[in-house]
Structure 1
């Protein structure tokens, strides 16, 4: 079985959640994508780094989602979403996926 890195899952959750919400016009559907990816990534963060890693990266994931909204007013929606997804993916890779 191929293991998808948690960094990719987290980034896909942020980008995919926004894309689904925007293209369907249904924010709850986008939230479901965001939440499902967060749970999958969180399970891997916990497996790899325990509670501290899962809590820290989970908080960053939620903060990235929340922070993308005010950032979007300054740089645009897609650049904001890709920016926070990149930050979350990099942190996830450093804490849980590397090595």
Structure 2
């Protein structure tokens, strides 16, 4: 069985982390979801494409999380999360998942 595509993992991490934090009111729990899925996405990318693309994907993932906060103040929480998630998934497809789409 092959690993899930990195784009699926980054999407699950960003949307899942936000959803868990919002639903439970427990931001560290949401952060844990974010971290676990992010680590899995980076590892999947590393196995498929090498260390460089994996580090780039990890940087985009962390940057997307950081960007979602100020962006949410301008356009709202869900639009911000969905926007950075879409951008991150596109990077994941370009860096590791080309054969999965």
Give me the TM-score of the superposition, normalised by structure 2. 0.94
State the distance in 1 between where 2:41 and 2:5 align.
8
Query: Could you list the runs of 5+ residues in structure 2 that have no partner in the other structure?
Result: none
Give the paired residue count: 99
Give me the TM-score of the superposition, normalised by structure 1. 0.96
Structure 1 segments (4+ residues) deviating >2 Å: none
Query: Could you list the runs of 5+ residues in structure 1 that have no partner in the other structure?
Result: none
Q: Does residue 22 of structure 1 match 2:30?
A: no
State the distance in 2 between where 1:88 and 1:21 align.
20
SS at match of 2:50: helix
More divergent stretch after superposition (3-12 vs 53-62): 3-12
- Give the structure 2 partner of residue 85 of structure 1: 85
SS at match of 2:35: helix
CA RMSD of aligned residues (A): 0.9
Q: Tell me, yes or no, if the aligned pair for 2:3 and 2:44 is still in contact at 8 Å.
A: no
